[in-house]
Amino acid sequence: MKIGVIGGGQLGRMLALAGTPLGMDFAFLDPAPDACAAALGEHIRADYGDQDHLRQLADEVDLVTFEFESVPAETVAFLSQFVPVYPNAESLRIARDRWFEKSMFKELGIPTPEFADLHSQADLDAAVAAIGLPAVMKTRTLGYDGKGQKVLRTPADVAGAFAELGGVPCILEGFVPFTGEVSLIAVRARDGETRFYPLVHNTHDNGILRLSVASTVHPLQALAEDYVGRVLNKLDYVGVLAFEFFEVDGGLKANEIAPRVHNSGHWTIEGAECSQFENHLRAVVGLPLGSTAALGASAMLNFIGEVPPTEQVVALADCHLHHYGKAFKAGRKVGHATLRSADAATLKQRIAAVEALIAKV
Amino acid sequence: MKIGVIGGGQLGRMLALAGTPLGMDFAFLDPAPDACAAALGEHIRADYGDQDHLRQLADEVDLVTFEFESVPAETVAFLSQFVPVYPNAESLRIARDRWFEKSMFKELGIPTPEFADLHSQADLDAAVAAIGLPAVMKTRTLGYDGKGQKVLRTPADVAGAFAELGGVPCILEGFVPFTGEVSLIAVRARDGETRFYPLVHNTHDNGILRLSVASTVHPLQALAEDYVGRVLNKLDYVGVLAFEFFEVDGGLKANEIAPRVHNSGHWTIEGAECSQFENHLRAVVGLPLGSTAALGASAMLNFIGEVPPTEQVVALADCHLHHYGKAFKAGRKVGHATLRSADAATLKQRIAAVEALIAKV
């Protein structure tokens, strides 16, 4: 069984690390000469719209999946003529566009911040009048890690903001006074079976995920599963999907979905019976799903810009290093550490130890 | 950091799966066109004595290690001129020859079955007279998985046995009425720090390991650690070493050592805090060692000849599949399953479930 992956970054790399023991081979289509997944499979170096190379990929593999959601719709449509593609085109179409995404949440009765579609500065001005300030303006597509968005606090922030984000279609979201950000990683099999990992509490810095802590029990687990289940079934989704929420007044408001394995699920490699990477692969190839149960108290810390010296990371108790083999560069995710401890109190100490290392870099 | 591995089979493959997250790259020197580790690194396809390709390997990597002990001494000596080689040449020299190995056990005061060196049928006849029957005759070098050995029960078995095993140097070992076979996986760092995994109880079929069950507590753990520690220090060993013992009268008799990661340690991938593969790499590159503590009650079952259907293996509770990506062939190790359960009673049921699958194949 050979799996084609669109994108050859760290998510592709970790998919291959999970899939190789299942007997799978991998081919990654990625234009970057230094795509870090290439160490673990074939690297088809081509643009995502290059039909000759997409055809080559389709001919070589049994199915295709993705490591990022902003794959062009034409790419998905083209590949789908020749080979199964999971998750399906509709899931990607919705997830790559914040307007479609939020509209789906609303349609499914999932609470989400107030939002409006923007195609001009006039739309923005009208939306601000209706929704109020502060608010967050985001490009409908291609935003990630805090890119493609702007917080609007004052009328001065609003003036010219549409041009500032590139004059592209955007949405305005009402500001939500959230007490925390959580994500639910879910996996749905071809036959519709669905499993959920424990809710994860996430902390961001400048829009980039810094710390994810898996909960053991969480009062909102059942509610989150209900919401995410609605989306999975609506999309007839196959594979891992990550759903980010704001915690508001003891409830949840939907932020966004990612139709793929997700940074806030990296802790599952060591911290769950079966990782998000293995479960994604099991789902897309039609194998039975693995257990999403946690093994202890786990957390994940991102290494952004650079990985602290290996000998210092691996010397820490309960700590597992994941070095992506990428060149170090400010603001770039180049690795992470998973902590798996016996209990929450120990985990807290371990997190502090990794944070101290990161602060020294 | 790039690691050279002599041999590109499943042990090399699992080394690469463990080392990639540490930021390591791999090159495997192996003459086989279908070496299964090649999916995870560079494959230098050449004979083990091919100095041009050994030189190429040495030039490309930071250090060299091995996945099997019968590497020619000349290969080790040649490589050592250019690049660090772990474990050291002396460890390989001893481990690849049963006479040197047993003599070392004796010298270090480690109980081992009676043994004699054989260079002719006359030597064999004399040794049988001294040691008695039943006894086991083994080639001094190149034996594995029950190959290169013969059990001698009667004088008829003895007649012509030297020629039968190829007329090569052999040893005769007195038969030991053992109650069980156990192995201890140890790892020693460059600075001499040593750690031990829990003792593993092993079951063989026709000389091939079939089942390894990790113990939680074992009354002979401390004794085994004492014996293995003597060998590690004597050899100034660096890396993972496996030591197989017979359990006899509540004590231990040394059987053999393997200067490498070992089949009876495969359960550590899921069953220990830090696997034998990661710990071997940590040791040889000079990183701090990882914890050898067990995570639950674990066992490993080999898939010999073929891997049962993937969908059936992964459907089993507590079960983790390791498919080596090798062509199926009778008697060949082509994969294994790790079971990691909450307790020994559950583990016993899980083992029965995997055994039932194997029996169906």
The band of B260, judged by pLDDT with boundaries at 50, 70 and 90, is very high
Q: Indicate which CATH number applies to the domain containing A340.
A: 3.30.470.20
Cross-strand bridge partners of residue B205: B208
Does residue A195 share a domain with residue A308? yes
pLDDT tens track for A175-207: 998 999 999 999 999 999 999 999 999 999 988
pLDDT tens track for B185-212: 999 999 999 999 999 999 999 889 999 9
- What does the pLDDT read at residue A138? 94
Structurally, chain B folds into a number of domains equal to 3
Domain annotation covers residue A97? no
The band of A251, judged by pLDDT with boundaries at 50, 70 and 90, is very high
Is the link from the previous residue into B155 a cis peptide, with omega within 30 of 0? Answer: no
Residue B145 has pLDDT above 80, yes or no: no
Q: What are phi and psi of A225, to 5 degrees?
A: -65, -40
Does residue A126 share a domain with residue A241? no
Q: What are phi and psi of A143, to 5 degrees?
A: -80, 145
Residue B115 has pLDDT above 90, yes or no: yes
Does residue A353 share a domain with residue A248? yes
- What does the pLDDT read at residue B194? 98
Domain annotation covers residue A94? no
Most confident of A68-77, A147-156, A290-299: A290-299
- What does the pLDDT read at residue A146? 67
Does residue B152 share a domain with residue B72? no
Does residue B118 share a domain with residue B55? no
Does residue A197 share a domain with residue A170? no
What are the tokens at A207? Answer: 């829009």
Residue A147 has pLDDT above 80, yes or no: no
Domain annotation covers residue B92? no
Report, as an integer, the average pLDDT of B172-177: 93
CB spacing of B288 vs A21 below 8 angstroms:
no
pLDDT tens track for A29-56: 999 999 999 999 999 999 999 999 999 9
Which residue spans within B197-332 are E strands per DSSP?
A: 200-205, 208-214, 239-248, 251-258, 297-304, 319-323
Burial (CB count within 10 angstroms: exposed 0-12, middle 13-18, buried 19+), residue B167: exposed
Q: Tell me, yes or no, if B300 comes closer than 8 A to chain A by beta carbon.
A: no
Does residue A125 share a domain with residue A42? no
Does residue B308 share a domain with residue B216? yes
Q: Tell me, yes or no, if A322 comes closer than 8 A to chain B by beta carbon.
A: yes
Does residue A199 share a domain with residue A150? no
CB spacing of A322 vs B39 below 8 angstroms:
no
Domain annotation covers residue A327? yes
- What does the pLDDT read at residue B147? 76
d(CA B53, CA B70): 18
Tally C-beta pairs within 8 A across A and B. 75
A42 → chain B, closest CA residue? B39
pLDDT tens track for A93-106: 999 999 999 999 99
Final residue in a domain of this structure, among A174, A193, A221: A174
Final residue in a domain of this structure, among B124, B144, B174: B174
- What does the pLDDT read at residue B73? 85
Q: What is the mean pLDDT of chain B?
A: 96
d(CA A175, CA A250): 17
Cα distances (Å, whole numbers) of residue A118 to A124, A158, A257, A258: 6, 13, 20, 22
Q: Tell me, yes or no, if A21 comes closer than 8 A to chain B by beta carbon.
A: yes
- What does the pLDDT read at residue B142? 82
Residue B296 among known ligand-binding residues: no
Domain annotation covers residue A143? yes
pLDDT tens track for A265-286: 999 999 999 999 999 999 999 9
Q: Tell me, yes or no, if B309 comes closer than 8 A to chain A by beta carbon.
A: no
Domain annotation covers residue B65? yes
pLDDT tens track for A301-331: 999 999 999 999 999 999 999 999 999 999 9
- What does the pLDDT read at residue A79? 97
Q: Could you tell me which residues come within 8 angstroms of residue A196 by beta carbon, excluding any fewer than 6 positions away?
A: A184, A185, A186, A187, A221, A224, A225, A228, A292
- What does the pLDDT read at residue A148? 86
Q: Tell me, yes or no, if A335 comes closer than 8 A to chain B by beta carbon.
A: yes
Report, as an integer, the average pLDDT of A215-233: 96
d(CA B115, CA A192): 62
Q: What is the mean pLDDT of chain A?
A: 96
Residue A163 has pLDDT above 80, yes or no: yes
Does residue A124 share a domain with residue A157? yes
Cα distances (Å, whole numbers) of residue B29 to B62, B260, B292, B332: 14, 16, 29, 21
- What does the pLDDT read at residue B151? 93
Residue A84 has pLDDT above 80, yes or no: yes
Final residue in a domain of this structure, among B174, B189, B210: B174
> Alpha-carbon Rg of chain A, whole angstroms?
20
Cα of B280 to nearest chain A Cα, Å: 13
Report, as an integer, the average pLDDT of A151-159: 95
Binding-site sequence positions of A for ATP: 98, 138, 143-149, 173-176, 181, 204, 255-256
- What does the pLDDT read at residue B146? 67
- What does the pLDDT read at residue B316? 98
Give the percent of chain B with pLDDT over 90: 93
Q: Which domain holds residue A136?
A: 114-174
Does residue A158 share a domain with residue A79? no
- What does the pLDDT read at residue B206? 84
The band of B67, judged by pLDDT with boundaries at 50, 70 and 90, is very high
| ipTM at complex level | 0.95
The band of B148, judged by pLDDT with boundaries at 50, 70 and 90, is confident
Does residue B281 share a domain with residue B132? no
Residue A145 has pLDDT above 80, yes or no: no
pLDDT tens track for B45-63: 999 999 999 999 999 999 9
Domain annotation covers residue B91? no
CB proximity under 8 Å: A 124-153 to B: none
One-letter amino acid for residue A42 of the chain: E
Domain annotation covers residue B103? no
CB A40 within 8 A of CB B39: yes
Q: Indicate which CATH number applies to the domain containing A164.
A: 3.30.1490.20
SS3 content of chain B, % helix, strand, coil (to 5): 35, 30, 35
